[in-house]
Amino acid sequence: MMLVLPVLAVALFVTGTFEAVLPVLLLAGSPFAVVGRRFLTWFDFTVAESPDGLRLRFGLTSHRSQTVPPGRVQAVRVERPLLWRRRGWVRVLVNVAGSSHGDEAQDRPSVLLPVAPESVARAVLGRVLPGVDLFAVGLAPGPDRARWRAPLQRRRLAAGADRQVFVARHGWLVPTWDVVPHARTQSVRVTQGPWQRRLGLASVHIDSTPGPVRIQAAHRDAGLARGIAEEQARKARDARARDVPERWLLGGS
């Protein structure tokens, strides 16, 4: 705000009209509008188990509720912004299968936890991804030459898989883990842009249903990327063959 006031004063002095100041006011106020909208949307957020899945309730001026059926969660994203690290907070987003009618946010939730301690996030993730500890999955970093393609986040780029899920890590200011169960993999692609081709790099994309989570093992060695794609396609076939429908709150009976 201290930087905005001099700009306002100069614009008013030069033009002599308040109309010239209006764009500056709108630009300065936009961050506060975003924060305010998120506060109103996610105020008093609660998550609880119900016979249909996880029941989400939230909102200050407009109370809303959504249900996340665990059997329809196709992919998960865990974000840990740098400013939240000291407090141990994370944000959890999901891709949920299903058609959308009108308001997509109402019919297909995308935010599982807007902000929560990591211990709470682990407990909730245990309900939508039973038996999975995404932070325990071994991740392999990309090659050193990836720094020429992604200099800021090269050290954060990593990917790996265990018997149940594929995990890709990325992000610099907002470290992010994207997770997809093998059985929920829709397709696997390898892409290579001109710069990547020159560096001998390629990226592996694991396609999921529409949503905020996009799984990509970025800037891997080109030969290794093709091997990752083939292995993931095989794991997806095997996982779908042994997959059983989620039986929510039935204790496996």
Please give the residue that has the higher pLDDT: either 54 or 112.
Answer: 112
Mean pLDDT of the chain: 79
What is the band of 60 on the pLDDT scale with cuts at 50, 70, 90? low
Inter-CA distances, 237 with 106, 136, 188, Å? 32, 23, 12
Average pLDDT over residues 91-111: 67
Please give the residue that has the higher pLDDT: either 83 or 50.
Answer: 83
- Report whether pLDDT(4) > 50: no
Q: How many helices (H) and strands (E) would you count in the chain?
A: 6, 13
3-state secondary structure of 205: strand
- Beta strands 89-96 and 111-117 are antiparallel
Please give the residue that has the higher pLDDT: either 217 or 251.
Answer: 217
Does 105 lie in the same domain as 30?
no
Q: Tell me which residue range forms the domain holding 38.
A: 4-42
Q: Please, which residues have CB within 8 angstroms of residue 99's CB and are 6 or more apart in sequence?
A: 107
Q: Does residue 138 form part of some domain?
A: yes
Q: How many independent structural domains does the chain possess?
A: 2
Please give the residue that has the higher pLDDT: either 17 or 50.
Answer: 50
Does 130 lie in the same domain as 21?
no
Q: What is the pLDDT of residue 196?
A: 95
Whole-number Å distance between alpha carbons of 101 and 37: 23
Q: Does residue 128 form part of some domain?
A: yes
Whole-number Å distance between alpha carbons of 245 and 69: 11
Q: Does residue 247 form part of some domain?
A: no
Does 212 lie in the same domain as 188?
yes
Q: Does residue 94 form part of some domain?
A: yes
Rounded to the nearest 10 degrees, the angle between the axes of helix 22-42 and helix 4-15 is: 140
- Report whether pLDDT(12) > 60: no
Average pLDDT over residues 20-32: 51
Does 214 lie in the same domain as 153?
yes
Does 152 lie in the same domain as 83?
yes
- Report whether pLDDT(101) > 70: no
Does 13 lie in the same domain as 95?
no
What is the band of 100 on the pLDDT scale with cuts at 50, 70, 90? very low
Q: For the beta carbon of residue 53, count every other beta carbon within 10 angstroms.
A: 22
Q: Does residue 248 form part of some domain?
A: no
Q: Does residue 252 form part of some domain?
A: no
Does 51 lie in the same domain as 27?
no
Does 214 lie in the same domain as 92?
yes
3-state secondary structure of 68: strand
Average pLDDT over residues 67-71: 78
Q: Does residue 229 form part of some domain?
A: yes
Does 164 lie in the same domain as 129?
yes
Q: Percent of the chain having pLDDT more than 70?
A: 72
Q: What is the pLDDT of residue 49?
A: 73
Does 51 lie in the same domain as 38?
no
Span of 9-13, 94-98, 126-130, 153-157 with lowest mean pLDDT: 9-13
Q: Please, which residues have CB within 8 angstroms of residue 193's CB and are 6 or more apart in sequence?
A: none
Does 210 lie in the same domain as 109?
yes
Q: Does residue 82 form part of some domain?
A: yes
Does 130 lie in the same domain as 26?
no
β-sheet with 64-68: strand ranges across: 46-50, 53-58, 64-68
pLDDT in tens, 176-225: 999 999 999 999 999 999 999 999 999 999 999 888 999 999 999 999 99
First to last CA, the chain: 60
Q: What is the pLDDT of residue 83?
A: 87
Q: What is the pLDDT of residue 14?
A: 46
